[in-house]
Structure 1
Amino acid sequence: MTTEPAHDPRPAFVRALDQAEQQVAAVSPGELGKRTPCADYDVRALLGHVVSVLHKLERAGSGGDARGVPDVAEGIADDGWARAFAEARGEAERVWAGDGQLDRMVELPWATLRGRDALEAYTHEFTAHSWDLAHATGRLAELDPDLGARALEGFSKFAPPEERSEQGPFSPVVPVADDADVYTRLAAYLGRRP
């Protein structure tokens, strides 16, 4: 009897980071004050959040407590977001490069998961935040539809509608047309108003 090898989430994670990094690098200082579909986040705060998420992943992957990392990184210069993202990404990818990380239990601010499940969840988070940035800055045409489809499927497991309220990170599902593109459906599923 043979067993199937466990799924490695890192290739999709890298693609999601590539997409997010492209969106981060495209933001100009004049766009930092624009509103995003994320409640309470303008573009600057959302950039601070995605940088902070990378620091949380690095800390959790190193065996530390990611709850000690703030939700939004601050003190980054208006023209320093691309560099801050790239540096934090490098640290996170270095920590998660070893295969042993994937089956180790990691402590995240919202759950304790196997490493592979944590990376899968954060792949979907970076995909959703790429849409948030693209929506706020008018760069929607640059998004990878396969990542959007994966995130839509993944969030149906990680964030089922029946477990949500107005106070959580995901609002109730917003209705959209059946023929809406995958990112519109993803945003609506997460409670954003595309």
Structure 2
Amino acid sequence: MSLALLHVALDEFARRLRLVGPNDWGRRTPCSEWNVRALVNHVVGANVRYRLLLRGASVEQVEATRSVDHLGDDALASFLASADQMVACFREDGALDRVVHHVSGDRTGSALVPMRILDAAIHAWDLARAIGADETLPDEVVAYLLAFATPYDDALRTASPQDRLLHRLGRHSKTEEIR
């Protein structure tokens, strides 16, 4: 199920990326240190880093990719290729049981899947916010990610699942901003 949700989260990011126009690359994102180009480069770079992790690269090799321009002349093609390559690595025999050396500590391949779903989904929302596109994330992705979140604040109990997830990740929906 989680690899299927990884596809959904990646598709959501690609859907927003297809909407980025030539004048959008410098727009601010909810990630204060990144504009649209830097956000997209981060997501493509993360796809590359997870592929490297699953192939046994060291933390140093993986971290060295953070300063690389992963977009080239065609950000969408770069994203799609890196996403396909990463997913193919997750599907390799034994990949989900393999222990990898993530910067935050050793993890199994299966423990990386929700991390990748989270990153792709929340940055799809960030990208949508930056370019003024539909911010709605698929219910099944939101529910899956909320299962990993800490208990909800009482004040958020009546909020939608997506608003609770966004709040937990330091982001705020337009509805929450109005309150």
Q: State the TM-score bracket (shorter-chain normalisation).
A: 0.7 to 0.9
Per-residue Cα deviation, 1:8-67 (whole angstroms, up to 9, x for no partner): 521111111111121222211211111111130111110000000000011001111253
Report the equivalent of 2:177: none
2:29 to 33, 36, 40: 36
Q: CA deviation at 1:124?
A: 1.4
Partner in structure 2 of residue 70 of structure 1: 65
> Which residue of structure 2 lines up, in the alignment, with residue 189 of structure 1?
168
Matches of 2:145 and 2:34, distance apart in 1: 21
Q: For the structure 1 residues 130 and 24, does the alpha-carbon distance in structure 2 shift closer, same or farther, using more than 3 Å as the test?
A: same
1:54 paired with 2:33, answer no
The 1-side partners of 2:118 and 2:131 are apart by: 20
Q: For 2:137 and 2:3, locate their aligned partners in 1 and report how far apart those are by CA, in whole Å.
A: 19
Taking the aligned partners of 1:178 and 1:117, their CA distance within structure 2 comes to: 28
Match for 1:190: what amino acid? L
What is the percent sequence identity of the aligned residues?
A: 26
Size of the alignment, in residue pairs? 171
Deviates more, 1:28-37 or 1:90-99: 90-99
C-alpha separation between the residues in 2 aligned to 1:38 and 1:56?
20
Provide the alpha-carbon RMSD of the alignment.
Answer: 2.5
Letter in 1 for 2:171: R
What is the CA–CA distance in structure 2 between the aligned matches of 1:64 and 1:112, rounded to whole Å?
12
Tell me, in whole angstroms, the C-alpha distance in 2 between the residues paired with 1:20 and 1:177.
26
TM-score scaled by structure 1? 0.77
Partner residue of 2:4 out of 6, 11, 20: 11
Q: Which runs of 5+ in 1 are unaligned?
A: 1-7, 162-172
Structure 2 portions without partners, runs of 5+: 174-179
